[in-house]
Amino acid sequence: MSTRLICVDDVSPQRWRNGGGVTRELLAWPSVEAWRVRVSVADVAVDGPFSSFPAVERWFAVLDGNGVELTVGGTRHRLTVEDAPLRFSGEAATACRLLDGPTRDLNLMLRGVRGGMFAALAGQRWRPRAAKCGLFAAVAGRCGGVKDLAVPAGSLLWFDEAPASLDFVPADAGVAAVGWWLAATPQENAAWA
């Protein structure tokens, strides 16, 4: 089973397509040019619009900061680090307003595949129903599944072949919310090329 570990701080920031912020692309599968699954962490310092991604399903969660108000297709959504991720269409007109200062946000984008982003809780077993999956760890700890892997804070652990189950035990026993599980599988039951 192939796994990848990508630390946010090891990835160079890139300007957004619309110039309104910077992002660190942690994963683009199967390639940067023709991705179907993309995981990134964005640093947002100013209010402004999101780039449009037609035919893309987006998931968004606040990792750090006081949160944002996203207006997606005219509907407002207030999001903080304690809220569930927001799922929305990448082609919907989306504006971001910072609630009180800069934020760091996790993004999952899916094109031609299904998937989602789910809260990872300390020691809680997760059974992905997906071809590929991952964990974005907000805190340091160990991810158990096929093998026990050390995962630093602020990093993505990605499985090219999803194990039957996973769990995460944080290094700090007092932490309950430890990050986000990410899942992606083909729209149909055929294997990915």
pLDDT in tens, 47-87: 999 989 999 999 999 999 999 999 999 999 999 999 999 99
Q: For the CA atoms of the chain, what is the radius of gyration?
A: 16
Q: How far apart are CA 98 and CA 87, in angstroms?
A: 18
Whether the Cβ atoms of residue 108 and residue 59 lie closer than 8 Å to each other:
yes
Specify the pTM.
0.92
Phi, psi at 102, each rounded to 5°: -60, 155
CB 111 within 8 A of CB 164: no
How confident is residue 21, by pLDDT bands cut at 50, 70 and 90?
A: confident
Query: Which DSSP category does 10 fall into?
Result: G
Spell out the domains of the chain, with CATH numbers in brackets: 11-110 (2.60.120.10), 113-186 (2.60.120.10)
Q: What is the mean pLDDT of residues 145-152?
A: 86
**Per-residue tokens: 70:** 């996203």
pLDDT recorded at residue 1: 59
Which has more pLDDT, 152 or 21?
152
For residue 32, pLDDT over 70 is answered with yes
CA distance 140 to 170: 6
For the cut 50, the answer to whether the pLDDT of residue 190 exceeds it is no
